[in-house]
Amino acid sequence: MNDRDKYPFVSVIIPVYNGEDVIGECLRALIEQSYPGKRFEVIVADNGSADGTIGIAQGFPTVKIVEEREIRSSYAARNKAVRVATGDIFAFTDADCIPDSDWLSRGIEYFLQNDIPIFGGRIDFVFSEKRGWCERFDALYHMNQKETVKRGRVATANLFVTREFFGRIGFFRGNLISGGDSEWSHRAVEKGFEFGYCDSAVVRHPTRKGLRENITKEKRIGKGEGQIKLLKKGGRRRYIEILKLILTFPFDIIHYVWPVVKFVFQGKIRLYEPVFLIPIAKLMFFAKRIGTIGYLLHRPEE
């Protein structure tokens, strides 16, 4: 096996918006990868940052920088990077993620051993010293890549895909606020593709520490869901969708909170913890639902 076969060329793609507090640590972790440095490139796709993000990225001479200023969407930024990428494999992560030093090596090893063209890697959460309840909620409810893959989706915080198969699925929907990875995954499943999961290819993601951070995220997710509903159903059906969301509210909130109870039986949390986590989950559900309905009300067409 020659070097090209043993070490396929990888394009690491990182979208970023106003990420001066995190991009440096992410790039340092990538520069220090155990994978041969000549066999991968790092592309930062800036989405119109107004802080010092680009300046920090420019401090890494081997890093390529592309800018997407026309469309404010991380998915549009990823598409911009894909267009200039030269790798046989695309490895996606986020600016606030810190890849382990063997992230690429483990991912490519999994690819070569299993011949799976699309797979997600593990996403571990990093807690603060306080390990607050909002952090616990964030870690329990979001980016469990192993479970996500089982449901036919993969998160772009840790996604490997060959150039060939990305081309067959197509670009991300560049106008989406949130949920673009789920929408892209759905298209992949519709084409008959299945996702793999590599537990040893790890990136670490900081938890969101406070209520405000988590509420902002849930509202953004809700807006993305509203946007996708309009794309699928058409703007004229927005009031029907709003009515359905209102009528199903009691059932949906139970469905959203129920995982907290399951976590007790699974041994992920202690018996007393639902007392604190359930109120947070309810609040986050409200934020998410407000985001969805608000988008449907104010954006009649896409």
Q: How confident is the model at residue 1 (pLDDT cuts 50, 70, 90)?
A: low
Residue among 9, 10, 13 nearest 181 (CA): 13
C-alpha distances in angstroms, 81 versus 15, 41, 53?
8, 11, 16
Q: Is the pLDDT of residue 231 over 90?
A: no
Percent of the chain with pLDDT over 90: 89
Q: What integer pLDDT is reported at residue 302 of this predicted model?
A: 46
Round to whole Å and give the CA distance between 151 and 153.
Answer: 6
Summarised one tens digit per residue, pLDDT across range 34-47 is 999 999 999 999 99
Q: Are 117 and 108 in contact (CB under 8 A)?
A: no
Q: Which residue has the higher pLDDT, 10 or 240?
A: 10
Q: Are 131 and 206 in contact (CB under 8 A)?
A: no
Summarised one tens digit per residue, pLDDT across range 171-202 is 999 999 999 999 999 999 999 999 999 999 99
First-to-last alpha carbon distance for the chain, in angstroms, is 49
pTM: 0.92
Beta bridge partners of 16: 46
Q: Is the pLDDT of residue 151 over 80?
A: yes
CA geometry: angle 41, 98, 281, nearest 5 deg? 130
Summarised one tens digit per residue, pLDDT across range 60-106 is 999 999 999 999 999 999 999 999 999 999 999 999 999 999 999 99
Round to whole Å and give the CA distance between 59 and 63.
Answer: 9
Q: Are 10 and 34 in contact (CB under 8 A)?
A: no
Q: How confident is the model at residue 5 (pLDDT cuts 50, 70, 90)?
A: confident
Residue among 171, 149, 169 nearest 158 (CA): 149
Beta bridge partners of 163: none
Domains along the chain with CATH numbers? 3-206 (3.90.550.10), 211-298 (no CATH)
